[in-house]
Amino acid sequence: MARVAILRFPGTWSDRDFAHALSLAGAETEILWHEDVRLDGFDAAIVPGGFAYGDYVRAGAIARLSPAIRELRRFADAGKPVLGSCNGFQILCEAGMLPGALTRNAGLEFRCDWVSMRIESDATPFTRGLGGEVVRMPIAHGEGCWVAGEETVERVEAEGLVVFRYVDERGAATAAGNPNGSMNNVAGLRNAAGNVVGLMPHPERCAEPLLGGTDGMRLLDRLVASLGTSPASVGA
């Protein structure tokens, strides 16, 4: 059975949601306190949502200094899958594991809603075989506007590092479909190797029909399948 580590920082609150969703996908999980993280023996790692250190200074800016990040980098450099959702995406960007940064939403409003995204890359263990599909997931963030310098934006697009892009009800990447003002409607990215992925929406919150959708489970199923187990979920 695949073993997945879930990191917990002061202020993290989506760790148990991920543990539940991953159990539905057939994985064994363990929630690890950030000061004591040792990832030997784990097959993948999750950096979940919340408000690490209260998002003081800037979302993810303090969490990136945690001893857990050094261990997470080592884990990722070994080719192991890492997923950061919402605050986890912010932390991965602040730590330099993904390009760009997440800033205050356009309009300075906290957005809590369901959004549509087009999967732009299937070169990750989370999106294998899903390229071009439109999925629907919930968001809940105040600092989800992805920004980067012009050269970085050009590189991200040229190298196919955009994994998820906000779209409207017709599947077009328009301003109407962009909930936070992210440059180029970016909702999620990968690193060059494809094993580190971050996104602002919450796949763990759409893992069962009772929650309003199961598209998040499609990502988690593919992760578990890539680790050599058989997914057993409602969303495949």
CA dist 116 and 83 (Å) reads 19
- The residue annotated as part of the active site, out of 71, 120, 143, 204, is 204
Does 93 participate in catalysis according to the annotation? no
Strand-pair category, 28-33 with 3-8: parallel
Does 202 participate in catalysis according to the annotation? yes
CA dist 126 and 222 (Å) reads 5
CA dist 104 and 92 (Å) reads 17
Residue 39: closest CA among 9, 63, 10, 67: 67
- The residue annotated as part of the active site, out of 141, 143, 202, 206, is 202
Query: What six digits make up the tokens of 62?
Result: 């303090």
- The residue annotated as part of the active site, out of 86, 93, 145, 206, is 86
Query: What six digits make up the tokens of 55?
Result: 């998002």
Residue 137: closest CA among 201, 197, 188, 211: 201
Does 204 participate in catalysis according to the annotation? yes
Which residue numbers are catalytic?
86, 202, 204
